[in-house]
Amino acid sequence: MKSYLAAAIQMTSTPDLEQNLVEAEEWINMAARQGAQLIGLPENFSFLGKDTDKISQVESIANSTEKFLKTMAQRYQVTILGGGFPSPVAGDVTKVYNTALLIDPTGSELARYHKAYLFDVNVPDGNTYQESNTVMAGEYYPPVIESENFGKLGLSICYDIRFPELYRYLSEKGTDVIFIPAAFTAYTGKDHWQILIQARAIENTCYIIAPAQTGNHYERRYTHGHAMIVDPWGTILADAGDQPGIALAEINPIRIEQVRRQMPSLKHKRSLSLRESSQELSLT
């Protein structure tokens, strides 16, 4: 595997499917022109709107999105991660999957992942999110894809980032690069987004490609932005800021090997048989 350029795209997606796809192609085109071979699109890149519309339009959104990703990969001869879009749940018209799809330059599907951890949170800014009301949680760990050109790639989506056991599973499979496409809320993002990305990169000594949503999408729905690419030491290589754009950086396999030699923590993992302390604390 040689070094290559990767791109994490940042968008302000809306409920307008067609316009979102037009804008996504503009960023894909720009990233490809700058030499990116591996491109990530954020969570909800093709549709970010009300839950009722997501449910009623899921067939159209999913079909259009999958066709778009395959067309873009072929047209620009790149590998593309569509970081999260609604897809139908067989036998359930009340819920969808939040699906990430990885497509190679031939237009072939390399991997599909349904988001495992759902964002059911009352955010202190007054917004309430209940993703599980309309989204079915995935039941499987993300796939790891072995690529001759890109190394081993792992998938995840947004809120997954708060569950390190998912990423440790990926690292145990030898993952070199992990995607974390997101639509992080503006409130939580300002405090947690960057540090969580760096933590996942450092503890698993891998690159993180984190496409993101930014700005105001509809009504009170605001996201944090700062799509970024982080290296295995936790160094931020590229940050898209708070406007739509691209974070572009080199993925270097030598850097992965170097960091894993310097900090071989993955080799030090142990299965511990721990018991609770028998000591009782007396507070006075």
| Residue in 54, 70, 115, 152 annotated catalytic | 115
Tell me, yes or no, if 206 is annotated catalytic: no
Between CA 80 and CA 37 the distance in angstroms is 8
Query: 188: which residues sit within 8 A by CB, 6+ positions away?
Result: 121, 123, 224
Between CA 12 and CA 185 the distance in angstroms is 12
| Residue in 23, 43, 54, 152 annotated catalytic | 43
| Residue in 66, 70, 152, 158 annotated catalytic | 158
Q: For the CA atoms of 186, 25, 68, 143, what is the dihedral angle to 10 degrees?
A: -50
Query: 233: which residues sit within 8 A by CB, 6+ positions away?
Result: 201, 202, 255, 259, 263
Tell me, yes or no, if 267 is annotated catalytic: no
Residue of 226, 273, 253 lying closest to 42 (CA atoms) = 226
Amino acid at site 61: I
Tell me, yes or no, if 115 is annotated catalytic: yes
Kindly list the catalytic residues: 43, 115, 158
